[in-house]
Amino acid sequence: MVSAVFHGPFEAPTLTAPSSSSPQPHNALKSIADKDHSTLGSMEKILKNDESTAAPAPGNHWSGKSRDFWTAVLPPVMGLVLLIGIWAIVSISTSSSIPSPLETWKQALVIFADPFYRKGPNDQGVGWNVLMSLERVALGFGLAAAVGIPAGFAIGRFEFLSRMFNPLISLLRPVSPLAWLPIGLLVFKGANPAAIWTIFICSIWPMIINTAVGVQRVPQDYMNVARVLNLSEWKILTKILFPSVLPYMLTGVRLAVGTAWLVIVAAEMLTGGVGIGFWVWDEWNNLNVKNIIIAIFVIGIVGLILEYALIKIATAFTFEEVKS
């Protein structure tokens, strides 16, 4: 027999009191907060450890900078000291026919006390001689760049021109500048144009060769895309060839400037007038060896400045590291 108990609609149901063993809501929230707090604390410790390991100590930072400084400065200083030492030994062994470094330094102080004096057309300070040589180099080198770079693009772009001019370049490039100078004197009837011509003909070859090699090394995929897009020759030159060839072209320019500065000294020794080459030859005629050694250092320093300036220009226009 089954019995059932029915509650009326107005009878309140009996509520069971919660047992003391069941967890309270605020206790659960507190435990969660404690866990989160401990997790955040451990994460902060990890971040602090990472920062302590990533950031070097101040002493290590300065020691690294000091090491880099001495690595950059010490080898050139040691090389200069070695050069001066060998120079002093040679001076002693030749019974002072070659002046010592100290004597040359004293003479340099006298020369550079007034480097821009003028006492006549052929008696001028070393500053005017250097400026005149730089003017000739700028003219000859500028003409060589105006002719050589477009010629290099054309030779590299068209195989027919490459086959046509490569034998001529290989034939004329090794010719000494002193062999070109008489041709310039014969054609231009003047020492200054002949010197500029010699600079031009000797410095044009590095620009032609390097530019042509750069054009020939442009990836063939670029040219295929240009052919598919039906680009004009001007668009191919300005949008594809020039950006790709620029590092090669700047290398040719650097080599050409060095060649031009070498050539002008030899050319001015023979042509005379005002210039660092003529100044060296004039001091040799006066048997002034101290001034000749000073001129050697002046030529080297000017060439170094030109090289450094062109490296900076090449670095500014390319995204590659340019090494000297």
Alpha-carbon distance of 147 to 151, in angstroms, equals 6
Q: pLDDT tier at 4 (50, 70, 90 boundaries)?
A: very low
For the chain, what percent of residues have pLDDT higher than 90? 23
pLDDT digits (tens, 9 = 90+) for 227-259: 888 888 888 888 888 888 888 888 888 889 988
Record the tokens describing residue 62, joined without a space.
């300065």
Calculated CA dihedral for residues 144, 145, 147, 151, nearest 10 degrees: 120
Question: What pLDDT, on the 0 to 100 scale, is given for residue 241?
Answer: 84
Q: pLDDT tier at 152 (50, 70, 90 boundaries)?
A: very high
Sequence ranges of the domains in the chain: 108-317
Pairing relation of β-strands 123-124 and 118-120?
Answer: antiparallel
Q: pLDDT tier at 1 (50, 70, 90 boundaries)?
A: very low
Question: What pLDDT, on the 0 to 100 scale, is given for residue 86?
Answer: 92
Residue 22, pLDDT > 60, answer no
- Out of 71-75, 155-159, 309-313, give the one with best mean pLDDT: 155-159
Q: Give the class (CATH, top level) of 108-317.
A: mainly alpha
Average pLDDT over residues 70-83: 85
Question: What pLDDT, on the 0 to 100 scale, is given for residue 131?
Answer: 92
Asked if 195 contacts 216 with a C-beta cutoff of 8 angstroms, the reply is no
Q: pLDDT tier at 28 (50, 70, 90 boundaries)?
A: very low
Question: What pLDDT, on the 0 to 100 scale, is given for residue 274?
Answer: 84
H-state helical runs in 101-190: 101-111, 126-157, 159-172, 177-188
Q: pLDDT tier at 7 (50, 70, 90 boundaries)?
A: very low
Question: What pLDDT, on the 0 to 100 scale, is given for residue 310?
Answer: 83
pLDDT digits (tens, 9 = 90+) for 99-122: 888 988 999 999 899 888 888 777
Average pLDDT over residues 185-201: 90
Q: Is 230 left (phi over 0), alpha (psi -120 to 50) or beta?
A: left
Mean pLDDT computed over every residue of the chain: 79
Q: List, in sequence order, every residue forming a beta bridge with 118; answer none if it has no partner.
A: 124
Asked if 311 contacts 304 with a C-beta cutoff of 8 angstroms, the reply is no
Question: What pLDDT, on the 0 to 100 scale, is given for residue 311?
Answer: 82
pLDDT digits (tens, 9 = 90+) for 271-295: 877 889 888 988 888 888 899 999 9
Asked if 275 contacts 196 with a C-beta cutoff of 8 angstroms, the reply is no
Question: What pLDDT, on the 0 to 100 scale, is given for residue 39?
Answer: 53
